[in-house]
Every structure is written in structure tokens, then in C-alpha cells.
Amino acid sequence: MLTSSDLLSDEYQTPETLLGSLDIFVFSLIAGLLIYWFFFRKEGFFRSDVFSTEPPPIRETSFIEKMKKTNRNVVVFYGSQTGTAEEFANRLTKDAHRYGMKGMATDPEEYDMSELSRLKEIPNSMAVFCMATYGEGGPTDNAQEFCDWMQGTDEDLEGVNFAVFGLGNKTYEHFNATGKYTDKRLAELRGKRVFDLGLGDDDSNLEEDFISWKEQFWPAVCEFFGVEATGEESSIRQFELVVHNDINMNQVYTGEMGRLKSFQTQKPPFDSKNLFLAPVTVNRKLNKGGNRHLMHIELDIMDSKIRYDAGDHVAVYPTNDAAVVNRIGERLGVDLDTVISLKNLDEESNKKHPFPCPSTYRTALTHYLDINNTPRKNVLYELSQYTSDPQEQENMRKMASASPEGKALYQSWVLDSERNILAILEDLPSLNPPIDHLCELLPRLQARYYSIASSNKVHPTSIHICAVVIEYTTKIGRVYKGVATNWLKNKEVTENGHKHTVPMYVRRSQFRLPFKPSNPVIMIGPGTGIAPFVGFIQERAWQKEQGKDVGETILYFGCRHKNEDFLYQQELEEFERAGVLTQLNVAFSRDQEHKIYVQHLLKKNKEQLWKLIHSNNAHIYVCGDARNMARDVHTAFYEIAEEVGGLTHTQAVDYFKKLVTKGRYSQDVWS
């Protein structure tokens, strides 16, 4: 048989060959066309199975040219990981209209940000940046390139007007680092700050911080540009409804995030826009007692070509409770199986739809929209126009306002009572919004990220998850159920051959074991914070089997009761007996009269720990609750440095900051 290398070799280039050059060319062309036709046509490459048969438009990469073309003078860039910064950017864009300005919300990843200096070409123009801080003080994925550009450029931004609102969380050490850096750097490049930096705190009330900032921001903008509010407070729709009465259902999205039919025809590589449907092969309860449900789940990635490392995160895309979706449909009196598209009224926008369209209302409410969390104030304001009871309308608008009375009412009636959109619809009988407007207003349902509880060296074809099911009764007597954990809990493994699947992809992390296995590791992870350390310990065991010199491996775990929720007890004790786990320290917080937590055990072993850290180059890892545990652990290490190392408090803080910089103190925490 002739191979391609055979055809290109000297032996097959002589006049005496069986096939001449022209024959080879024709043969190759025909073969290529056949391969192209077979594979790509079969996969819908010719777009017979997608909604639009038109070729995709050429995307404009110059936001300046786009602003000129569409007569806009305000651009609102967003660095967003969960959609909140994008939502705030859209709200500022709508506000601009009320001040006689024309704005657009923009993803910096989609444009050439080096053109920022050209903004002064547009009269009375301004760039606003809604910048979330992600992870350990870094930018969001879509703002990474922009932040890299800011850091490396010496562009002169004189004449460029800007303002920044940062989104952060005070439980993390690097609070609002990205927003602060953006504001500082743009000013250093001689940009003109129109209004002071705003700092939102998600640990308190992020939306309240945003509203307070923009209530001062717009008057400052009016004064800066010499404009006045138009007085228009009416609802401004961003999308229009298109109902598809006669459509091939093969052209309708059923939960896919990107390519239509990607769930039926799975093709790597898999990412946030192309999810892998991983079969659930194990779903077992971890705790032996108590009223909670802690679970261990294993996902099969055999045929996915997905690779991961211990410490990475798995992103799963849950679906909402079908019963809640049905109740919304019943309350609004709509046929949830109606096929619709929500089409952006701004034809120049890169965001054509708020979620994949065409889709049914049922699919949108099940797969794409967040119906479980408390709605933000702007949603209440927009929906208030659809109430027929004057008192209900007054209360909704009051809650959406920035008045002290309105803030208190929103806090008590919505936040403290944990009313989701269904609860609000049920408790306000005269509220009857069109379901398409409701779908436009609700935020996107977000992926949930779990620290992977396995090592790829030991489990290359599966990813393990450790999670606790969220379910409790709220103040007003409703049962609150966490979307993702209850959805995962119900993915039971059956013996009839049917396997439930989980749409997922892997997100890389910086939470990594030391490059040298001989370095000691100190792991602190109470509760489900143990997840990445299960993977770490598995990997250290594998390294030992490979004959490598593996340093001390020390775990500090915490739970409530030894006989109830000592997670992975059998596995951990086996690792300890095998000498892989040098020390297993467990704090059972409620097995005695006074509570004992992991930080107490750290202090108990302070001499040993200080020697490992200061003399033996140990790496420290902390996983779990950011608000209390991570802070208390930090404090315990400061005290160890002071008491054993003889450092002052200031020196201790500086010492551990340097460990963070060197990659020897790593955190994987959440609030």
C-alpha cells in the first residue's frame, strides 16, 4: 500500500513510476474531497443542522470603529468570570441612554485593547471598566490579555476619560486587586479619571455597593461632560421576542453551551463552550450519620482526551429542578415548550442572544437561566411595571431604590427570606410579567467548580468529586435546595445499564504539589476542603511506588464527629499505615464540650511545623472556607512564627507573604 511518505519519496518521482505526478495530484485531490465530505458533512459542517444558513459575519476587532459607525460615546468593558460584572456593564449601558449618551457593553477579549488611546477621537467619550478580581488577586479569564497589555504598554492615554468599578470579596487577601490595578494603571498612562474608583464587596452586598457608586458616578459624568439626565426611567428592552411556530426541532438548542448538537456528537477539545458529557460511574454517600449528605462521585472521562492534574478544578453545568421550572410555567400560564429566540435589538452587538437560541422556554429555564438565587434589584424594578396592584408595585420599586427604607425592605423581604423568582411570583399575585422579558432579565446559570479529589497518575480515566448537598428550610418556611449538589445527588448509578451524565470540562489551577517530591507538604482541609488532598496523597503514594524520594506528607483534617463525617477515613488510615501519610491529624469539633478546630492542632504541633517550614522548605496548602477557617489558619501560622521563630507580628506577616510569592503557601478557598 502506498503511504503519503512513499508518494513524496524520490523513488516515486521517476518517470518509470506507476503513477505520474498529475495522477498523484488528482488522486490526492479526490481523496481529500472524499474525506472532507465524509467527516465534515456528517458532523453538520455544511450547517444543514443549525439555525442560520448564512456565513458567520466578519467580527469587528476595532471597538473605536464600531463606536464611530454606531454613534456611541460610552464603552463599558467588563472583566467577568460569573457574569456579574457583565450584568453591571449592561446596566451602565442602559443608564447611559437616560443621560443622553449612547453606550455599549464590551468584552475586552473580543477587541484590540491597544486602540484605547484612540478613544479621544470620539467627542465626549468615556470608557468604564467593571473589573472582577478572580482567584488569588488575578484578572478574570476574559480580562487577562487586557491586563497583560496594561502592564507592558507605555501608551499615552492623555485625553482618554475613564472610570472603574471593581468587584471583589473582602474574605480574600487581595481584595479587588484587579479593579485597583486598572484604575491606578490607566491614571499612570495619563488617562483622565472621571470619577473615583468604586469597590464592591461580595462578602457584604455587591449590588448595593454598585448602586451607591453609580448614583454618585452619573452626576459626576453629567458635570464632567455638561449633560443632563433626560428623565427617562422607562424600561428599556435589550432583546425582542421571535416565536418559531414552524421549525425543525433539529435546529433547536436543548442545553448545549456552544455548538448545536454538541451533546449528540461529542468532539474534543472540551472547554466551557464545548462540554463533555461524562458518565457517572460512582455516587456514594461518604458520611456514616448526621442529617447532612456528603457524597463522593466519579466521572468517566475515558473517551474524552481530557487531561488533568491533582489540584485542578472540574466545572460542572447543572440543570434547574424540573418541578420549579414547571411551577414558573404554571404561574405565568405559558406553554413552556414554545420555541423562541430572543434577538438583540442592537444589530451591531456581538451578543446576539442572552442564551443559545432558538430554544424553548423550558430549556432556557432548565439549562440557561438562574431561577434559584434571589433576584437583583434591577430585576425587581423592571418587573414592577407588570403588577396590577398599586401597593405591590410601590413595594417592588421601593426595594429597587437606594432609599434606607427600600434597602431595609429588600434585605428582609428578598435576601434574608431567600426568595427566588418563583417565590416572588407566588407571593405577589398581581405580578404577571411576559415570560420572554423575565428570561431576558434573569442572569445566566453558572458552572459550579469543584476541587478534583483524585490524581491523574492513579485515575487517568476518571475525575472524582467530593461535595455536600445543600438543603435547608428558610425563614419563611420554604425549602431551599442547592441547584448543583441536589442535581448531582440524583445522578444515581443503576444496574440497568443506563448511566447518568454530567456536562463538564477541566479548569486548570495553580494549586500544585511541589516540583520536587522530596519537599515536605502540610495540607489543611476541613470538611469537603479535603478534596484536592485526596488527589495529592494518591499522587505521593504513586511517586513512592515509582521509587522517588518523597518528603513528609502531613494532613490536618476537621469534621464534626468521628463516627459521622470523618470523610475518606478508611482510605486515609490505609495511607497512614502504608507510610504515605506521615501524619494524620483530625480535629473532631463537636466530640467534646469545647470545640476543636484544625488551627488548634496546628498550634499544638508548632515546633515541628516551624522546623518543616523554616528549615526543610515545606509547602503549605489550605483548602476550604475563606471567611473563617483560612483566616484562622493564617493567624495560627503567624503565631507559630512569633512563638517559635521569634519573629514580631509584622515580620511574621511578611514571612508568610514571601512564602505565597514563592509558591510555598497556596490556597484553594471559597466564601
- Binding site residue list: 80-85, 132-135, 167-176, 202, 292, 448-451, 466-468, 472, 482-485, 528, 589-590, 595-599, 632, 670
623 is catalytic: yes
- Contact at 8 Å (CB) between 525 and 311? no
* DSSP per-residue string spanning 620-648: EEEEEETTTHHHHHHHHHHHHHHHTT---
Q: Which single residue is written with the C-alpha cell 476619560?
A: 161
Which residues are annotated as part of the binding site for NADP(+)?
A: 292, 528, 589-590, 595-599, 632
Q: CA geometry: angle at 146 spanning 144 and 152, to 5°?
A: 105
Strand partners, 481: 471
Q: How far apart are CA 117 and CA 195, in angstroms?
A: 19
| Residues of each annotated binding site for FAD | 448-451, 466-468, 472, 482-485, 670
Q: What is the 3-state secondary structure (H, E, C) of 261-313?
A: CCCCCCCCCCECCECEEEEEEEEEECCCCCCCCEEEEEEECCCCCCCCCCCCE
Cα(233)–Cα(218) distance, rounded to whole angstroms?
Answer: 14
559 in catalytic set: no
- Which parts are annotated binding residues for FMN? 80-85, 132-135, 167-176, 202
Could you say which of 125, 304, 451, 509 is catalytic? Answer: 451
- Of 454, 452, 461, the C-alpha closest to 508 is 452
**Residue carrying C-alpha cell 483622565:** 192
Catalytic residue among 112, 271, 401, 670: 670
For 292-324, b where at least 16 C-beta lie within 10 A, e where not — what string? bbbbbbbbbbeebebebbbbbbbbbbbbbbeeb
Instruction: Look at strands 276-285 and 501-507 and give their pairing.
Output: antiparallel
Cα torsion 563, 564, 565, 566 to 10°: value is 10
Spatial separation of the C-alpha atoms in residues 104 and 63, rounded to whole Å: 10
668 carries an active-site annotation:
yes
Helix (H) / strand (E) containing 434? none
Q: Is 487 part of the annotated catalytic residue set? A: no
Catalytic hit among 130, 623, 625, 666: 623
What residues are annotated to the active site? 451, 623, 668, 670
